[in-house]
A and B are shown apart, each in its own frame.
Chain A
Amino acid sequence: MNRQIRQLAAGLILCYVVLFVALNFWQVGQKEELDARFDNTRAVLREFNKPRGPIVTADGVVVARSLTNPPGSDFEFSRDYPAGDLLSNVTGYFTLAFGSTQVEREYGDVLTGSTAAQQIRGLGDLLGGDVDNTGSVQLTLRHDAQTAARFFLAGREGSVVVVEVETGAVVAMWSNPSYDPNTFVNEDFEVARDVISELQEADGNPLLANAYQERYMPGSTFKMITTGIGLETGALTLDSQFDRVREWVPPQTDDPIQNYRGSQCGGDLAEVFRRSCNIPFAQTAVAIGPEGMIAGTRAWGLDEELPIDLPRPAGSTFGNTTDLDQNLPLLAIRGFGQNEDQMVPLHMALVAGAIANGGQMMKPYVVDATFDHNGSALDRTSPEVWKTPLSPQNASIITDLMIGVAESGTASCCIALEGGIPVAAKTGTADLGLGGGVDQVHAWIVAFAPADDPEYVVSVVLTNLESTAAEAATGGRLAGPVAKGVLDFLLTGDGAG
């Protein structure tokens, strides 16, 4: 029998060798293929079951947090967004099956305590029995300012962005429509999938943070940039004079350019800027020339992504510039913000911010600091200059021009602040052409205050408005009150600190 027993031993050994080889195959050989399979949720799940710290606004309101589920639940935690739709475009969401976005995505390792710094600090605590290693993220955004922005936009489609002039810190960034992450983050796969696909197809793209991920034709607000380039290149001075005309035929065409609604408009720089004449800025753009305008707009940060600390930012654009020298009429029209010009609402706030900040355009940011679970800072964002499109002198010239707009120009109806705080502004009404028999426009205003010592710059755009002869939708009349409301709140109202 001993021979058979030895053979049996050999057979069983062979069986176990097969097991060992198979185990190697799955755990090492096929590892990458298996880990990458679409229905493999291990990696996400590992992340999902980690405790996750809160996201807190600058004024101390928790806007994203993890709640411990009752024992026996499928998952240890659920993610909660107490502010609903108010800050979802900044916090983003964190889901099991549909990934994560915005701060939840970019700062996931801080929130779960996975950064090297937290791991090292956590080691000491582990021995002391302290179990929590999660971090927290403090936003630059203020819950109260965001609420004010939402209040003054009053449910209309559009965006409101408030940026701190000296730092580039984003104080408020609201776009309507928005979405409430609580409607899907803790739901079952099918429910979550349905809610998300509904949001993806909804009008106005609620899942997109339009304030920094979408761009719109800027209209006359673009004249700040044309003026800036003109002053920097010398094509424009405070003494520049423009003929009072109704229309002007640019080179290379017979088709004339008109002012807004065909009005007669002209005078010195202060007057044409205040009244927002189109023809002078068309002429300035042509005078600067295609090369100068392209280089100039680049200096203002156009045609590149916004350097914000959130994922997938949009970039503003001066449009297609190939053979622009053969298309001077387009160059002329782009000089006052029509044709292919497209600006991101946040970028527009940065443009005015550069003017308010002595010519320096700051990098925008939404995360002020990150903290470990003991509350000591891991990292603080220090303000950085992104572009310097203007000299301080020219910045101060344009500031004066914009004060004129607010005091006696296109914004004078609606922007005067409480307590007589001086304010500087520029309006814009981007004409999108006819849509369904009525003019479609974007109504813009960009304003900063106090004009003599700027603190905040606000950019407002109301999108896809219908404009009729009887009731013209203009940036000053429609967007102006939103900007005024927000600035009043921040400077003299409940939000003044």
Chain B
Amino acid sequence: MTGVDLLAGVDEPGRRGDSPLARSRRNTELSLVVMAALITGSAYTIAALGTNAEIPPGIVVFVAFLLGLLLFAHLVVRYVARGADGTLLPLAALLHGIGFVMITRLDDELAGLQATWSLIGIAVFVGTLLVVQRAGDLARYKWLLFFFGAGLLLLPMLPGLGRNINGARIWVSLGPINFQPGEFAKIALAIFFAAYLAERRELIAASTWKVGPLHLPEPRYIAPILVAWGFAVVVMVGERDLGSSLLFFTLFVVMLWVATERVGYLLLGLVLFAGAAYFSWTQFSHVQTRVDIWIDPWSRSLDRGYQIVQSLYGLSDGGLTGTGLGRGNPNQVPEAQNDFIFASIGEEMGLIGGSAIIMSYLLIVGAGLRTALRSDRPFEKLLAVGLTTIIGVQAFIIIGGVIKVVPLTGITLPFVSYGGSSLIANYILLALLIRVSDSAARRLGELPDDPTISERWRAAQLARRNRRAARRGLPTAATDAPTIDPDAAIGDDPLATS
């Protein structure tokens, strides 16, 4: 399907300068997005047939609406990030669609809410793409983002605002709205890490501070980031959000390792992790419980191990091909629509469906890291690594927890699980990844590096001012301002070190 130019003849800005490769990416994305919509629509119909034995009355409206929404997102990408990888949006749409079908099948009431969240999610995706037109701009706001992220993490601790749900204090209630600020905090902090490390990575890697046989980075370079990281981990452990702590820890260690190119940080991270894990295992009963259940859920299959045992029974009942959508009993697993949604998919869509989900995440990871490789700027490289690590590791932690590969920690399955905060945050993340990918393609010369909308506006303003000034015979403004010449590489990037 990729060879067909579906929008041939449509007039687009700067399209004539695009390489065929960049052009085919958008058409690939279009056909894949349509496929994701059709798969979701079919799954939706099958699930309704399986549960109620009737074709859902609004199926045509549903598919039309879904297609419209995804085409809208695609068109926005086509206009403002047309050099980006063409698989990211369709993969997210597929995961989101399958998750939505599963949630509808599990709980009608939640489905309505999730539909609203989906709308908001796409809107936020589009908004993020429009607001962040240059990935590099984000680096300027690193400290703002750090305090924003830290503040978000602290919010649930505030009395009157924070809420305890299922033993974890990760929720915030503002009037009728409940949300998990941690979902957004991790993106803000990933941006902060990427910016900070891009700026100081060589200084940190230099390790000029000698303590005995160890070569350590200068404390003043590494301290801020250690403080930031320690703060985040302590807060999350305090909120009993083990899954997020683990994710955050991994994110930090991976980014530090990639930035400094020193494997020692990875090893140090492992040692620290082992120490922290052992410490919390001896100190916290809820951690001990998690580990006990992981090692042997069977002897507690009716109380604490119930959830994981039921999850495995569901998976086994599904077998290779699954019970069929709507034909299993995924509601046997408590929280099936949240953390355990992968078990529901495995039960009703079988090993085949579960493997498709795993493959989808792997493809997102692949596209994300390919973006990191293609980018030539450290900040964008690290940002792509960080965002990809968030999605890849988060999906691994929760899928692994559900199928007893790692101890279970409550965390959502990106794009699939029920929940507004998670969905919106992941769409922001996706938009940023697409933005980085687009920037990389432009710098590789695959398409002209047009000025962004805001740059055009600023340039037009400048030109107007210059014209006015010329009329009055005054000197014109500085010439280093953005111009509207499409072939000129523009955009200041003070962080570009290589």
Point out residues on A near B: beta carbons under 8 Å: 1-6, 8-9, 12-13, 15-16, 18-20, 22-24, 26-28, 30-31, 34-35, 37, 39-43, 45-46, 49, 126, 129, 131, 133
* Chain B interface size range: 35 or more
A26 touches B54 (CB 8 A): no
Cross-chain contact of A5 among B332, B381, B392 (Cβ < 8 A): B381
Residues of A within 8 A of B393 (CB): 12
What residue in chain A is nearest B311 (Cβ atoms)? Answer: A26
Q: A35 vs B323: C-alpha distance in the bound complex, in angstroms?
A: 13
Q: A25 vs B446: C-alpha distance in the bound complex, in angstroms?
A: 44
List residues of B (394-410) whose CB comes within 8 Å of A's CBs. 396, 399-400, 403-405
Given A34-B313, A35-B316, do A27 and B301 touch, yes or no (CB 8 Å)?
no
Nearest-Cβ distance from residue A107 to partner chain B, whole angstroms: 21
Verify if B361 is at the interface (C-beta below 8 Å from A): yes
Residues of B within 8 A of A42 (CB): 313-314, 316-317, 328-329, 332
Q: A2 vs B396: C-alpha distance in the bound complex, in angstroms?
A: 23
B309 touches A27 (CB 8 A): no
Nearest-Cβ distance from residue A347 to partner chain B, whole angstroms: 43
A27 touches B350 (CB 8 A): yes
Q: A224 vs B124: C-alpha distance in the bound complex, in angstroms?
A: 90
Given A19-B399, A26-B316, A27-B318, do A1 and B258 touch, yes or no (CB 8 Å)?
yes
What residue in chain B is nearest A129 (Cβ atoms)? Answer: B54
In order of increasing CB-CB distance, the 4 nearest A-B pairs are: A34-B316, A131-B53, A42-B317, A4-B258
Residues of B within 8 A of A19 (CB): 358, 396, 399-400, 403, 405
Q: Which of A2, A16, A39, A126 has the most CB of B within 10 A?
A: A16
Contacts A4-B257, A12-B369, A126-B49 known; 11 new A-B pairs at CB < 8 A? A1-B381, A13-B362, A16-B396, A19-B400, A20-B355, A26-B403, A31-B319, A35-B313, A39-B301, A46-B317, A131-B53
Q: A8 vs B385: C-alpha distance in the bound complex, in angstroms?
A: 9
17 A-B pairs (CB sep. < 8 Å): A1-B381, A8-B254, A12-B369, A12-B396, A18-B400, A23-B358, A27-B315, A27-B346, A27-B350, A27-B351, A28-B319, A34-B313, A34-B316, A40-B316, A46-B327, A49-B329, A131-B54
Residues of A within 8 A of B373 (CB): 2, 5-6
Residues of A within 8 A of B320 (CB): 27-28
For B357-390 the 0/1 string (1 means CB < 8 A from A) is 0100110011001001100001001100100010
Given A19-B399, A19-B403, A129-B54, do A4 and B317 touch, yes or no (CB 8 Å)?
no
A16 touches B354 (CB 8 A): no
Verify if B189 is at the interface (C-beta below 8 Å from A): no
Q: A18 vs B403: C-alpha distance in the bound complex, in angstroms?
A: 11
List residues of B (27-75) whose CB comes within 8 Å of A's CBs. 49, 52-55
Residues of A within 8 A of B403 (CB): 19, 22-23, 26
Point out residues on B near A: beta carbons under 8 Å: 49, 52-55, 254, 257-259, 261, 298, 301-302, 309, 312-320, 323, 327-329, 332, 346, 350-351, 354-355, 358, 361-362, 365-366, 369, 372-373, 378, 381-382, 385, 389, 392-393, 396, 399-400, 403-405
B405 touches A18 (CB 8 A): yes
A15 touches B258 (CB 8 A): no
Q: A24 vs B319: C-alpha distance in the bound complex, in angstroms?
A: 9
What residue in chain A is nearest B403 (Cβ atoms)? Answer: A22
Residues of B within 8 A of A40 (CB): 313, 316-317
Given A39-B301, A42-B332, A131-B53, do A15 and B396 touch, yes or no (CB 8 Å)?
yes
A24 touches B351 (CB 8 A): yes
Nearest-Cβ distance from residue B197 to partner chain A, whole angstroms: 10
Residues of B within 8 A of A9 (CB): 365-366, 369
Q: A8 vs B256: C-alpha distance in the bound complex, in angstroms?
A: 12
Nearest-Cβ distance from residue B202 to partner chain A, whole angstroms: 11
Residues of B within 8 A of A126 (CB): 49, 53
Q: A129 vs B382: C-alpha distance in the bound complex, in angstroms?
A: 55
Q: Which of B327, B392, B393 has the most CB of A within 10 A?
A: B392
Nearest-Cβ distance from residue B401 to partner chain A, whole angstroms: 11
A5 touches B372 (CB 8 A): yes
Residues of B within 8 A of A49 (CB): 329
A23 touches B351 (CB 8 A): yes
Nearest-Cβ distance from residue A240 to partner chain B, whole angstroms: 68
Residues of B within 8 A of A22 (CB): 400, 403-405
B332 touches A45 (CB 8 A): yes
Q: Which of A9, A19, A35, A42 has the most CB of B within 10 A?
A: A19
B258 touches A5 (CB 8 A): yes
Nearest-Cβ distance from residue A146 to partner chain B, whole angstroms: 35
Q: A5 vs B374: C-alpha distance in the bound complex, in angstroms?
A: 11
Residues of A within 8 A of B319 (CB): 27-28, 31
Cross-chain contact of A26 among B315, B327, B389 (Cβ < 8 A): B315
A26 touches B329 (CB 8 A): no
Given A3-B261, A19-B399, A46-B323, do A12 and B316 touch, yes or no (CB 8 Å)?
no
Given A1-B259, A26-B315, A46-B323, do A20 and B54 touch, yes or no (CB 8 Å)?
no
Residues of B within 8 A of A3 (CB): 261
Nearest-Cβ distance from residue A157 to partner chain B, whole angstroms: 39
A23 touches B378 (CB 8 A): no
Nearest-Cβ distance from residue B141 to partner chain A, whole angstroms: 23
Given A1-B378, A5-B381, do A20 and B316 touch, yes or no (CB 8 Å)?
no
Residues of A within 8 A of B369 (CB): 5-6, 8-9, 12
Nearest-Cβ distance from residue B200 to partner chain A, whole angstroms: 14
Q: A23 vs B396: C-alpha distance in the bound complex, in angstroms?
A: 12
B261 touches A34 (CB 8 A): no
Q: Which of B52, B320, B329, B381 has the most CB of A within 10 A?
A: B329
Q: A105 vs B392: C-alpha distance in the bound complex, in angstroms?
A: 48
Residues of A within 8 A of B49 (CB): 126
A20 touches B358 (CB 8 A): yes
Q: A24 vs B396: C-alpha distance in the bound complex, in angstroms?
A: 16
A23 touches B355 (CB 8 A): yes
Q: A5 vs B383: C-alpha distance in the bound complex, in angstroms?
A: 12
Nearest-Cβ distance from residue B65 to partner chain A, whole angstroms: 23
A4 touches B261 (CB 8 A): yes
What residue in chain A is nearest B262 (Cβ atoms)? Answer: A4
Given A34-B313, A40-B313, A129-B54, do A16 and B328 touch, yes or no (CB 8 Å)?
no
Residues of B within 8 A of A35 (CB): 313, 316-317
Q: A16 vs B258: C-alpha distance in the bound complex, in angstroms?
A: 20
Nearest-Cβ distance from residue A13 to partner chain B, whole angstroms: 7
Residues of B within 8 A of A45 (CB): 329, 332
Q: A28 vs B298: C-alpha distance in the bound complex, in angstroms?
A: 19
Cross-chain contact of A23 among B55, B329, B354 (Cβ < 8 A): B354
Residues of A within 8 A of B52 (CB): 131
A46 touches B328 (CB 8 A): yes
Nearest-Cβ distance from residue B491 to partner chain A, whole angstroms: 21
Q: Which of A15, A24, A37, A39 has the most CB of B within 10 A?
A: A15
Nearest-Cβ distance from residue A123 to partner chain B, whole angstroms: 11
Q: Which of A1, A28, A34, A129 has the most CB of B within 10 A?
A: A1
A23 touches B315 (CB 8 A): yes
Nearest-Cβ distance from residue B341 to partner chain A, whole angstroms: 15
Residues of A within 8 A of B318 (CB): 27
Q: Which of B53, B302, B381 has the most CB of A within 10 A?
A: B53
Nearest-Cβ distance from residue B359 to partner chain A, whole angstroms: 8
What residue in chain B is nearest A46 (Cβ atoms)? Answer: B329
Cross-chain contact of B313 among A18, A28, A37, A129 (Cβ < 8 A): A37
B316 touches A27 (CB 8 A): yes
Q: A73 vs B390: C-alpha distance in the bound complex, in angstroms?
A: 38
Q: A6 vs B49: C-alpha distance in the bound complex, in angstroms?
A: 44
Nearest-Cβ distance from residue B352 to partner chain A, whole angstroms: 9
B396 touches A34 (CB 8 A): no
Nearest-Cβ distance from residue A414 to partner chain B, whole angstroms: 57
Nearest-Cβ distance from residue B110 to partner chain A, whole angstroms: 14
